[in-house]
Amino acid sequence: MKPSKQRKSTKKLGKPGTVKKSGLPAGSLIHVGKIKTEKTRIDVIEYNATSLIEKNQLGIKEASAYIDTSEPTWLRVTGLQDTQLIGDLGKAYGLHPLLIEDILNTGQRPKVELMKDYVFFTTKTLEISPDNGVISDQVSLILRKNLIISFHESDLEFLAPLYERINLEESRIRNNGVDYLFYALIDIIVDNYFNVIEVVAEMIDNVEDQIFSSPEENVLDTVQQIRKELLFLKKTIFPIREGLSTLIRTDIPLIDPQQVKYLGDVYDHVIHIYETIETYRELNTGLKEVYLSALSNKMNEVMKTLTIIATIFIPLTFVVGIYGMNFKNMPEISWKYGYLSVWIVMIAISLFMLFHFKKRKWI
């Protein structure tokens, strides 16, 4: 990561994705965020223990046909800029307009909402970019009977292991209902947070090494950048903890009690991540103090060196000043060895002072 440089914003495709919603009625379908795909795409995976059917680029009519599916089905919506398509899909599946508004608002705080026929869970995926720091994508999950609908801003590369698992007949995903897939999606998102935390920890270690070896001015910029990243991580993790707690403690017919145990494991991971973030925040705050202390010590060393040099030259200046007064009755001026003697005296004074400073361990 290059924290000292100004962040580069993710390239937007087409028109800017941020739209002011001020003054619009609640439930207005406005996409708020960056456009990260060329277009909104709907794909579906229908599976069971012995078979798997995958279809891509579905239209709204085809996508709406899975509302009463009898097989576990994963409906994936990639790209949130087509508000009309997402709005129509929401209507087809009976989603509340305010819920669809939350899906389209990529700045939405992670949360869980329990409805009569479905469970809504929205969270953030996190990745580290060398140029842009921590990058987040919003993922919203709708859990219905035999159906899970996921909405995400872009294709998420870290979901690749999940796609591989769902293609294996012996995998737990294929041999369980969509509530297990619901858990698996949340689990892989949370596990990816550990990768981000490891990168941040490495950044803190590098800054600490730099402070003790050669504290430069850009160190403070790096510390400030890490502080912002950790604050963003905390704001993301804390509401996820609340949401998972709701899923675990509430009796939800759509989630098998066995899967609740798995969600409890994810909850433990979130707690661990949250505590790690708090620890790193304290370490990062300490780094700023250590940097300022190291900078002060470095300045003190410079001042110490200059003071020693000045102290050595004070008696030498005194000697030179005496013989620079140009009085007529100064025997040493006409003495054959006067010039050499003055040099010997000044060198002796300098050596004596250096020896004295060394003995007192000032140098």
At 17 the pLDDT is: 41
Taken in order of first residue, the domains within the chain and their CATH numbers are: 41-293 (3.30.460.20), 300-359 (1.20.58.340)
At 27 the pLDDT is: 66
Q: Is residue 48 classed exposed, middle or buried when 0-12, 13-18 and 19+ CB atoms within 10 A define those classes?
A: middle
Cα gap 35→44, rounded to integer Å: 22
pTM of the model: 0.77
At 20 the pLDDT is: 52
Residue 223 CB contacts under 8 Å (≥ 6 apart), including other chains: 207, 284, 287, 288, 291
Q: What is the pLDDT along the chain (363 residues), one digit of tens a residue?
A: 444 443 333 344 444 444 456 666 776 788 888 888 889 999 999 999 999 999 999 999 999 999 888 999 999 999 999 999 999 999 999 999 999 999 999 888 899 999 989 999 999 998 877 677 788 899 999 999 999 999 999 888 888 899 999 999 899 999 999 999 999 999 999 999 998 999 888 888 888 888 877 777 778 888 888 888 889 889 889 999 999 999 999 999 999 998 999 999 999 999 999 999 999 988 888 887 887 787 787 788 888 888 888 988 898 888 888 877 777 777 777 788 888 888 898 899 999 988 888 888 877
Name which of 196, 185, 198, 197 is nearest 244 in CA terms: 185
At 21 the pLDDT is: 62
At 14 the pLDDT is: 41
At 180 the pLDDT is: 94
CA angle 161, 163, 165 (to 5 degrees): 70
At 22 the pLDDT is: 63
